[in-house]
Amino acid sequence: MTTRKHFHAKPLARVIALASMPLVTFGAANVAAQESSELQELRDRVQTLERTLEGAVSTAPELQDDNPYLLRNGDGIKIGGTTISFGGFIKADAIFGSGGNGSLNSYTVGLPRTYASAAASGESDWKTGFSARESRLSIGTETDDVAGHMLTTYIEMDFNQDLNDALNETGNEIVSNSYAPRLRQAYGSWNNWDFGQTYTTFTDLAALPEILGQGKMAAFIYVTQPLIRYNMAVPGGKLMMSLENPEDGFYGNSYDDQSYPDLAVRYQLRGQFGFYSIAGLLRNFEDNAANETKTDGAVSLSARIPTVGKDDLRLQYSYGALGRYMGLLTYPDVDLVARAQGDVEPLKTYGATAAYRHFWSPAWRSSLTVSHTEIVDGLRASPAGTLSYFDSSTSVHANLLWSAHKNLTLGLEYAYWDFGEIASSSSKQYEQVMASAKLSF
């Protein structure tokens, strides 16, 4: 049981006043004309001190009898000098996709490559899949005065395993629909430094379109990976520089270990006219068997521009040796046929995404998103070489979302994909309808 001692401000104020009276009297004897004004000033100061002390006592936090070190506030739970907060959401999706061929249901773990396979199947049947795998759980902390700076940490996981995991039966749709947790983000920030795993510096999440399938557009940069990043304020906004985990692989196949990290730099301009970013990426490509190394890079421009009311326009354009950074495993990092011949040739591509978000009312909104990507180098690959069968893809997403509360969003979305065939002017199509409920906490 905690014992409280009551502190009274008024007796202290009286003591201060009495102790000060000789000074007032001495001053009055020497300067009689100023007695009245000095005494009034002293009284005002005493009253101010008294109000301050009373306010400090009345607003002091109440200790809990069971645990005096545990205090709850609006930001989480405070233990000692660290505040811990919990968050996340439950996301339930129902997905209806074209191109079904009776194989393992991959609609709920779909990527552009699996959509392309469905488009190429020649089947016209629509199939159904349900999933809660995008649900997330996150824990954040804040610790004051760690060597003179605030220390924050954040860890986030979901259950959205890829198709290979499903094929290997680490998850199933037969009995339990059980899927293992997957690390998405785990990083800490201190004194303008970020350490750990989070979104690459090469992308700008301010320009990320609001669609129901996380990041599943043809061309947007949407990668999380380990990095070390420094952030600094510069005129007009923020400058970020990072060393990030290097990799030049494709769909689970790593070609060779890398000698140097990827270098990413981004400058973001912030103001009443929106968010604008320019980013650069420098990468090293290696093939130990051929004893060959090449260095190449990419650039990206992005913006989030306010328009009418709460509406906004979101844009991103990227060009260069993008590889795994763009479109969720759409392209490899190097030309696979050239690699088979002992050459290291970074695959040059470009991608553009544009999205307009419109608010019909405070609770209702819609987004229309168009995204396109394409290989710009002359292809040295057969249809079975560089890609499964396509060298360009275009996606269109249109949705209607209703948020009755900031913690509840229901939505319906239609997506259309067009995949251009390698060495051909023809293309294949895939369609999808997705209904989603997102309940945040």
Most confident of 69-78, 160-169, 231-240, 252-261: 231-240
Give the tens place of pLDDT for each residue, 273-292: 999 999 999 999 887 666 77
Give the tens place of pLDDT for each residue, 92-145: 999 898 876 544 455 556 777 778 877 877 777 888 888 898 999 999 999 999
Residues 176 and 265 in one domain: yes
Examine residue 226 and state whether it is found in any structural domain, yes or no: yes
Residues 178 and 301 in one domain: yes
Q: Using the predicted structure, report yes or no on whether residue 207 has a pLDDT greater than 60.
A: yes
Residues 48 and 181 in one domain: no
Residue 179's pLDDT is what? 83
Residues 193 and 231 in one domain: yes
Residues 55 and 112 in one domain: no
Examine residue 268 and state whether it is found in any structural domain, yes or no: yes
Q: Using the predicted structure, report yes or no on whether residue 57 has a pLDDT greater than 50.
A: no
Strand partners, 310: none
* Domain end point (choices 60, 79, 101): 60
Residue 347's pLDDT is what? 87
Which positions ≥6 away from 105 have C-beta within 8 Å? 127, 129, 173
Residues 56 and 199 in one domain: no
Q: Are strands 292-306 and 253-254 parallel, antiparallel or unpaired?
A: unpaired
Residues 271 and 420 in one domain: yes
Most confident of 126-135, 326-335, 345-354: 345-354
Examine residue 349 and state whether it is found in any structural domain, yes or no: yes
**Side chain identity at residue 56, one-letter code:** A
> In which band, very low, low, confident or very high, does the pLDDT at 31 lie, cut at 50, 70 and 90?
very low
* Domain end point (choices 60, 79, 98): 60
Residue-averaged pLDDT of the chain = 80
Examine residue 4 and state whether it is found in any structural domain, yes or no: no
Examine residue 167 and state whether it is found in any structural domain, yes or no: yes
Examine residue 66 and state whether it is found in any structural domain, yes or no: no
The domain total for the chain is: 2
Instruction: Provide the 8-state DSSP code for 379.
Output: P
> In which band, very low, low, confident or very high, does the pLDDT at 293 lie, cut at 50, 70 and 90?
confident
Instruction: Tell me the three state secondary structure of residue 12.
Output: helix
**Residue percentage of the chain with pLDDT more than 90:** 48
380: left (phi over 0), alpha (psi -120 to 50) or beta: alpha
Residues 183 and 302 in one domain: yes
Residues 53 and 82 in one domain: no
Residues 386 and 349 in one domain: yes
Residue 258 in tokens: 């890398």
Examine residue 1 and state whether it is found in any structural domain, yes or no: no
Question: How many Å is the Cα radius of gyration of the chain?
Answer: 30
CATH at 271: 2.40.160.10
Residue 321's pLDDT is what? 94
Q: Tell me which residue range forms the domain holding 127.
A: 71-440
Give the tens place of pLDDT for each residue, 246-267: 987 666 555 556 789 999 999 9
Residues 348 and 426 in one domain: yes
Q: Using the predicted structure, report yes or no on whether residue 20 has a pLDDT greater than 50.
A: no
Residues 19 and 87 in one domain: no
